[in-house]
């Protein structure tokens, strides 16, 4: 069996095809930066999660430290239970405050960790005690309007 | 005025004919898979088909990918500008290409460029009784002619789709960053932040692989099943292109509804 010019062309085709695939993986996708090798699970209960989505980010000081793995409804307490996979390199104190924020005015919602000063660390599987729910824009506006209305009555 | 009973009979006949062909096509796929050993033992047969199906489709795939990227860049910029979020141009171009346009358009181009020529080749071989002659010489035509063409298509398709998407992203970059002046860093970093490798890129590859199987099977089957006359072959080629395009779009809908349900 001899090498032919056809083999050269097929080799060229396969090589640039694989190169395109690597381009998609590394330059377009984020295979290089986003992999979290080891994760552990934390849970948090919220009264209202707003528009939080599974696979959304968990941030601390603006850095992504984990992903939201699961969102369930607890029929006993009528709260939402959010399960998060946190990067194994990071540990957080016991009194960490989990709040739901919005990136920009209309952006996606994420969980932000405000770190406390406790000596003890949260262990894998723990539930974060202190949480703050998502801000619902309608509630905010109606609160503002009602307070304005009551102000006006007092002036009269 | 045709007899209504006659009409119903024709409709029924057409239905039965379709189902008959579908069954034959399924049996044909099993026969190809069973006879595939030869296409990998004598790799030069398959390499030749990768050359004719894949390498010669390179030009149309690369050029059309570039143009689709250019158009996405222009249109995307024009629409995103209204919402003041032109930095999201990279995200828009990359997601629409890796998820949908790359696999689907590459498969349709592949079907019309390579699938039609495979059908014509096998159809003419049948019309000139070359397939029968092979059978007489104890050479199995499915192993010698059909299976290498099938595998050539299946191997070429994901590579072509990846090239199409990559060229499209570069085209969007050309228009958005070089000509219009979107920030270069924002284009790539927004893209990387929102395109997930497993969820977006890998699902696109799976799609193109499925399309490769569908298009290659339709092309070899229509050729093998064609009526061995000049008219029959030309009809088979038309059917290849039409059926391929329809089944690519239908499969795309099914695959998308499985893959991208929206995570919530």
Domain residue ranges in chain A: 1-33, 39-142
**pLDDT per residue over A119-151, tens digit each?**
888 888 888 888 888 877 788 888 888 888 887
Q: Between these two residues, B146 and B193, which has the higher pLDDT value?
A: B146
Determine whether the interchain pair A29/B201 forms a contact, defined as Cβ–Cβ distance below 8 Å: yes
Does residue B108 lie within any of the structural domains?
yes
Least confident of A70-74, A134-138, B19-23, B127-131: A134-138
Q: Report the candidate in A56, A58, A30 with the shortest Cα–Cα distance to residue B196.
A: A30
Residue A1 pLDDT greater than 60, yes or no: no
Put simply, whether B201 touches A (Cβ < 8 Å) is yes
Give the domain range for residue B66: 35-263
Strand A97-102 to A109-114 pairing: antiparallel
Alpha-carbon distance of B65 to B161, in angstroms, equals 9
Strand A39-46 to A79-87 pairing: antiparallel
Determine whether the interchain pair B58/A14 forms a contact, defined as Cβ–Cβ distance below 8 Å: no
- What mean pLDDT is predicted for residues A39-51? 87
Residue B126 pLDDT greater than 70, yes or no: yes
Of all residues in chain B, the one with the smallest CA distance to A16 is B163
Burial of residue B226 (CB within 10 Å: 0-12, 13-18, 19+) is: buried
Spell out which residues of chain A touch residue B204, defining contact as CB-CB under 8 Å.
Answer: 24
Spell out which residues of chain B touch residue A21, defining contact as CB-CB under 8 Å.
Answer: 158-159, 162, 205
**pLDDT per residue over B33-46, tens digit each?**
998 888 888 888 88
The share of chain B scoring above pLDDT 90, in percent, equals 63
| Local confidence band at A106 (pLDDT 50, 70, 90 cut-offs) | low
Structure token pair of residue B206: 């799976």
At residue A31, the pLDDT reads 62
Residue B2 pLDDT greater than 80, yes or no: no
At residue A155, the pLDDT reads 65
Does residue B96 lie within any of the structural domains?
yes
Spell out which residues of chain B touch residue A53, defining contact as CB-CB under 8 Å.
Answer: 263-264
Structure token pair of residue B10: 């024709």
Structure token pair of residue A128: 């974060």
**pTM listed for this prediction:** 0.76
Residue in B156, B193, B264 nearest the CB of A30: B193
Determine whether the interchain pair B165/A24 forms a contact, defined as Cβ–Cβ distance below 8 Å: yes
- What mean pLDDT is predicted for residues B246-260? 91
Alpha-carbon distance of A69 to B151, in angstroms, equals 39
Does residue B93 lie within any of the structural domains?
yes
Determine whether the interchain pair A24/B162 forms a contact, defined as Cβ–Cβ distance below 8 Å: yes
Q: How far is A24 from chain B (nearest CA, A)?
A: 6
At residue B263, the pLDDT reads 47
Alpha-carbon distance of B117 to B60, in angstroms, equals 15
Put simply, whether B89 touches A (Cβ < 8 Å) is no
Q: Report the candidate in A36, A57, A70, A35 with the shortest Cα–Cα distance to residue A107.
A: A57
At residue B191, the pLDDT reads 86
Total tally of structural domains belonging to chain B: 1
Residue in A18, A23, A30 nearest the CB of B197: A30
At residue A128, the pLDDT reads 86
């Amino acid at each position: 069996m001899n090498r032919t010019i056809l083999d050269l062309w097929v080799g060229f085709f396969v090589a640039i095809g694989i190169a395109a695939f690597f381009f998609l993986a590394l330059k377009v996708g984020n295979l290089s930066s986003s992999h979290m090798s080891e994760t552990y699970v934390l849970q948090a209960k919220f009264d209202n999660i707003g528009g939080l989505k599974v696979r959304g980010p968990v941030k601390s000081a603006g850095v992504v430290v984990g992903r939201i793995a699961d969102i369930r409804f607890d029929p006993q307490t009528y709260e939402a239970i959010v399960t998060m996979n946190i990067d194994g390199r990071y540990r957080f104190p016991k009194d960490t405050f989990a709040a739901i924020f919005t990136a920009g005015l209309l952006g996606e919602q994420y969980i932000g960790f405000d770190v406390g000063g406790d000596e003890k660390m949260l262990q894998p599987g723990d539930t974060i005690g202190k949480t703050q729910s998502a801000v619902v824009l309608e509630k905010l506006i109606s609160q503002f309007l009602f307070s304005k209305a009551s102000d006006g009555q007092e002036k009269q | 005025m045709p007899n209504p009973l006659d009409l119903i009979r024709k409709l029924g006949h057409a239905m039965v004919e379709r189902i008959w062909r579908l069954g034959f096509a399924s049996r044909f796929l099993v026969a190809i898979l069973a006879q595939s050993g030869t296409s990998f033992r004598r790799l030069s047969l398959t390499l030749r088909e990768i050359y004719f199906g894949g390498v010669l489709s390179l030009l149309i795939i690369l050029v059309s990918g570039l143009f689709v990227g250019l158009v996405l860049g222009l249109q995307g910029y024009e629409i995103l500008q209204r919402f003041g979020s032109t930095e999201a141009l990279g995200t828009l171009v990359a997601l629409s290409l890796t998820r949908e346009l790359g696999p689907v358009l590459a498969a349709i181009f592949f079907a019309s460029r390579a699938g039609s020529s495979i059908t014509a080749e096998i159809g003419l071989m049948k019309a000139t009784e070359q397939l029968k002659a092979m059978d007489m010489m104890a050479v199995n035509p499915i192993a010698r002619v059909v299976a290498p063409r099938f595998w050539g298509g299946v191997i070429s398709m994901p590579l072509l789709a990846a090239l199409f998407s990559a060229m499209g992203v570069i085209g969007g970059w050309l228009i958005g960053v070089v000509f219009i002046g979107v920030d270069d860093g924002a284009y790539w970093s927004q893209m990387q932040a929102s395109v997930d490798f497993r969820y977006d890129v890998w699902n696109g590859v799976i799609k193109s692989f499925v399309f490769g199987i569908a298009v290659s099977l339709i092309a070899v089957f229509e050729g093998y099943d064609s009526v061995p006359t000049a008219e029959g072959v030309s009809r088979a080629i038309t059917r290849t292109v039409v059926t391929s395009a329809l089944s690519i779009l239908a499969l795309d809908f099914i695959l998308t509804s499985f893959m991208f349900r929206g995570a919530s």
